Amino acid sequence: MHLPASSLELELHRLPLEPASLLRRGGVQAQSQAQPLQGLAHPHASALKTRTQCPACLSASLSVVYEEPYTGKGMQAYLARHYEGHAGAAADGGVYALARCNKCSLVFQRQVPEGALLEEIYNSWVPGTELEREHRNYSLDEYRYLAEQVQFIIQHFGLAPGELDALDFGFGWAHWSKMAMGFGCNVWGVELSEERARHGRSAGLRVVGLGDLPARRFRFINTEQVFEHLTEPRLVLEKLRDALSGDGIIKISVPNAVGALKKINEGKNFGALSVNDQMPIAPLEHINAFSHASLVAFGKEFGLKPLRPSLYRLFNSASGLMQPKNLARVIARPFYRHVFPRTTFVYFVRG
């Protein structure tokens, strides 16, 4: 099994917008009319491996969605701009080939990096400046969003935070982990990047390997922008499911590729897509392009089904305003802390 060295969803704000040249496409068609894969010729690519089955359900019934060689002008421009000149030529013998599973509807890249190329992409091609930007520039709204998620989970189980064991799989710079620990939860983490693993340990996170997870231990497992990167997602989800407690929850959050694939089906080249549309199907990185339907089908393969959360808990986790005692406190707190201060809670600035 090969996993990327980072769980971060990499920013794609510098992607080329010009149409790709040398397009190899067997007629871009709607899903119901997509061509079968049998008989398609692909150049030999030693640095890429070809997936001949759906990575989610293992079906071999696949249809062509889109094809373009990595040596094409548009793809070369994308690689140069996205990786800021760090991209090598290891993928040049391959094809950016999107296939659709006729059983579960997942769209995925057939040719994917493995071994040395996988390590090279995530440890050398991805610019350090991008990683540092992702690490530093979390906004207040993003931290608030993380806090809402953690509060919802605590309320859902009705446990004291110290009684809740959680796992953050592919934790990256540990933003979610640190938020959950701040609320008092017991958080474990899995991260293949040694740099990020060290950061997690320094923050107090219990870092373990995927093969070291205890059975039926975790009430909540967080996966944020991970499964779109995995060459073998079934192996990972199976291990995570086995580590989940009987009443536990796994969160899988991935980019929604529906909009991008709709435009591809309408005949647009990859290079002509907007930055936002390119992101969910990013070559070599976002190799699994999920929709809601294909994600639900993926979970069903392992006996998982969507949870319909309590709206009360969802809204209440945002601010606590659904509880009368919290409403009074939230309204009154700014006054007795800062307008007519009477507490020992003070923000200081230079005089």
Tokens read off for 284:
């070599």
* Residues 29-51 pLDDT 10s: 333 345 565 544 444 445 899 99
According to the model, what pLDDT value does residue 135 have? Answer: 65
According to the model, what pLDDT value does residue 29 have? Answer: 34
Residue 209 confidence class, pLDDT cut points 50, 70, 90: very high
Please name every residue paired with 276 in a beta bridge, in sequence order, or none if there are none. none
Mean pLDDT over residues 64-72, rounded? 94
Q: In whole angstroms, give the CA distance from residue 196 to residue 168.
A: 13
Mean pLDDT over residues 140-149, rounded? 90
One DSSP character per residue, 12-49 reads -TT---SPPSS---S----GGGPPBSTT------TTEE
pLDDT surpasses 90 at 218: yes
CA angle 253, 257, 259 (to 5 degrees): 130
According to the model, what pLDDT value does residue 73 have? Answer: 85
pLDDT surpasses 80 at 11: no
How much of the chain, in percent, has pLDDT values that exceed 90? 55
- Mean pLDDT over each residue of the chain, to the nearest integer: 83
pLDDT surpasses 60 at 20: no
Domains of the chain: 31-134+256-284 (no CATH), 140-250 (3.40.50.150)
Whole-model pTM?
0.81
